[in-house]
Structure 1
């Protein structure tokens, strides 16, 4: 048995991405613990959490709303990535890799959302 969301590639990709962000943010300075570290981790985790929450016992319209929350959380992650880049916590190539993955996930969520009634 499994939950409906576990079969969704957008959820699986979001889970993997959230773990990458968690690991990456371990390298931030300690004085960012309650600021950027917390913010980027919560935003990254929120992507998968909203997909899961929206998929269970919701109408398609309600699920679409939760997918919108996931998309907005991804934009928050990207903004945090820019903050990390500006503060020199991330190298350009790693920034580009995480940015591209964010963009890919966002487009997959949008495409999935557009297929819902």
Structure 2
């Protein structure tokens, strides 16, 4: 499992998502630098990071747990993107 995570579609999509969010938050107002934009960046980085980390675990059950963590981070980021939209960013 450890060498194959980069070939997983979910990993590739999460990397693209993280890249896209970074592009979006670069246009946020300066006062959000340490607020919403920072939180969003941490959240989207967490998604592919958890996939990669979990794939390096010894047991499949551990990998599944990291996938659930990635899913939680994704939902957190989606919520923050909804707020960003509400703020007009």
Q: 1 or 2 for the larger relative contact order (CA 8 Å, sep ≥6)? A: 2
CA positional deviation for 1:82: 1.2
CA distance, structure 2, for counterparts of residue 22 and residue 86 of structure 1 = 18
2:49 matched to which residue of 1?
49
Q: Is the CA contact (8 Å cut-off) linking 2:53 and 2:66 kept in structure 1?
A: yes
CA distance, structure 2, for counterparts of residue 52 and residue 31 of structure 1 = 32
Specify every segment of 5 or more residues in structure 1 that has no aligned partner in the other structure, as ranges. Answer: 90-117
Q: Is the CA contact (8 Å cut-off) linking 1:4 and 1:56 kept in structure 2?
A: no
How many residues are aligned here? 88
Q: Is the CA contact (8 Å cut-off) linking 2:57 and 2:63 kept in structure 1?
A: no
CA distance, structure 2, for counterparts of residue 19 and residue 55 of structure 1 = 21
Moved over 6 A (4+): none
Specify every segment of 5 or more residues in structure 2 that has no aligned partner in the other structure, as ranges. Answer: none
1:97 matched to which residue of 2?
none
CA positional deviation for 1:7: 1.1
